[in-house]
Amino acid sequence: MIIVLKPGCKKKTVEEIMKKIEELGFKAHAIFGVERTVIGAVGDDRDKHMLEALEANPCVDKLVPILQPYKLASREIKREPTVVKVDGALFGGEYFGVIAGPCSVETERQIVETAIKVKKAGARMLRGGAFKPRTSPYAFQGLEEEGLKLLVKARKESGLPFVTEITNPEDVELVGDYADVLQIGARNVQNFSLLRRVGKFGKPIVLKRGMSTTIQEFLMSAEYVLSEGCREVILCERGIRTFENATRNTLDISAVPVIHERSHLPIILDPSHATGARNYVPPLCFAAMACGADGIMVEVHPDPQKALCDGPQSLGIDGFVHVMKRLRELSKFSGKKL
């Protein structure tokens, strides 16, 4: 249920109403919008009639039921787009954030060099996996904590914040203490205990769509994170599995306008995992800018032929420089700021 407050309602009153909501057995989430303050009361739908008592409060304008199964993620509760800001990286609204870096952290030289070069080309955030969820148990699994330390070094040398994947609920504190943003990968999009733990931890999240999750399921996963108090969730469409096998997955670009219609959360595209092939990555980065996506995540490696993971889909530095140059040109027409 959305409790819409009258304009000019004092902070103390908002707090009192939130307390009352909690007493009725719901979780209260205040959303301070430009025009109005609303409180989302989230809990067991069967008890929602109990909230009707709030209508008697003179500061309450009206009660509006939220029709979608996801509540805090929905546009119904927040009309303005959410802008997630991590240092100089902004995603959402008029901002187009660029995340670049290797699939996995391999060596100090590899990650530091990549960080410095992608920063120079215009990236706002570094990516790099330290815990890799590989399809084969025999494939390179990542450098784990050592990889996190190298990412910290790369952040220091380049000034870029970094996002890195977390695969296990027990590692949230470990990874969360090093990283600026935590990534939930496609394979863990419905790992609900992991979603709850990262939601409680409080750092911003990049939540990747699963290869076979519907948009509704994807938004329900975001709801898990939001319901634990985290406000900064960046959704990432990274390709879904279809009958087509010319590409690794099929990039569902239509997810961008659909999600923008249904949710206030930013949505970025990952053309690297979507296509699995370097040559197809640049056109889809441009498509992201053209279709109103809130950013991209791309794999970039200083020597893709030697990459331990996902080399065929990784851009070299020159390829990334070219993508950024074109994106800057396109941003003049798209209304998105890079």
H-only helix segments in the chain: 11-23, 108-121, 145-158, 172-178, 192-201, 215-227, 255-262, 271-275, 281-290, 317-334
Q: Which of 87, 83, 109, 110 is nearest to 96 (CA)?
A: 83
Q: Contacting ligand PEP (CB under 6 A), which of 78, 238, 264, 336?
A: 238
208 or 260: CB nearest ligand PEP: 208
> Min. distance of Cβ 274 from Mn ion in angstroms?
11
Helices (H) then strands (E): counts for the chain: 10, 14
> Min. distance of Cβ 78 from Mn ion in angstroms?
32
129 or 319: CB nearest ligand PEP: 129
Q: Which two tokens stand for residue 67?
A: 């029709």
Q: Mark 83-122 with x for binding to ligand PEP (rule: CB under 6 A) and - for no binding.
A: --------------------x-------------------
- 248 forms part of the interface with ligand PEP (CB under 6 A): no
- 185 forms part of the interface with ligand PEP (CB under 6 A): yes
From Mn ion, ligand PEP, none, which one binds at residue 238 (CB under 5 to 8 Å depending on kind)?
A: ligand PEP
Q: Mark 77-106 with x for binding to Mn ion (rule: CB under 5 A) and - for no binding.
A: --------------------------x---
Q: Contacting ligand PEP (CB under 6 A), which of 86, 99, 143, 186?
A: 186
Q: Give the Cα-Cα-Cα angle 208, 165, 284 (nearest 5 degrees).
A: 45
From Mn ion, ligand PEP, none, which one binds at residue 165 (CB under 5 to 8 Å depending on kind)?
A: ligand PEP
| Cα dihedral 201, 225, 229, 26 sign | negative
C-alpha count within 13 angstroms, C-beta hemisphere, residue 111: 33
Distances 325 to 9, 208, 278, 318, 331 between C-alpha atoms, Å: 47, 26, 17, 11, 10
> Min. distance of Cβ 186 from ligand PEP in angstroms?
4
223 or 299: CB nearest ligand PEP: 299
Pairwise CA distance, residues 319 & 278, whole Å? 9
Q: Mark 269-288 with x for binding to ligand PEP (rule: CB under 6 A) and - for no binding.
A: ----x---------------
Q: Which residues of 120-157 are buried (b: 16+ CB within 10 A; e: fewer)?
A: ebbbbbbbbbbbbeeeeeeeebbbeeebbebbeebbee
26 or 162: CB nearest ligand PEP: 162
The contact set with ligand PEP (CB under 6 A) reads 103, 129, 133, 165, 185-186, 208, 238, 273
Q: Which residues bind Mn ion (CB under 5 A)?
A: 103, 310
